[in-house]
Amino acid sequence: MSEKKPSVPIGTKVKTGQKCPESGVWKVVVGEKSTTAPVAKGNVFPPYDGKSVEWELIQYA
């Protein structure tokens, strides 16, 4: 069986409110705060710390 290739490369950046292009672990850094979150393809990226932010794909699901 062949594995499905990811649709976007590691390092892809997406903003709050946009749909997730690839299931995986996404990271956000705002000043000295940061977090990671698993986000599934098709879900909408949430705000972080009450702000619109840019999420970066760091690992495929």
| pLDDT of 4 | 74
**Is the pLDDT reported for residue 2 higher than 90?**
no
Angle at the Cα of 45 from the Cα atoms of 10 and 13, rounded to 5 degrees: 30
User: Could you tell me the residue ranges of all domains in the chain?
Assistant: 27-61
Please state, for a pLDDT cut of 70, what percent of the chain lies above it: 95
**Is the pLDDT reported for residue 9 higher than 80?**
yes
**Is the pLDDT reported for residue 24 higher than 60?**
yes
Looking at every residue in the chain, the average pLDDT score rounds to 94
pTM of the predicted model as reported, rounded to 2 decimal places: 0.90
Both tokens assigned to 28: 């956000």
Identify the three-state secondary structure at position 13: strand
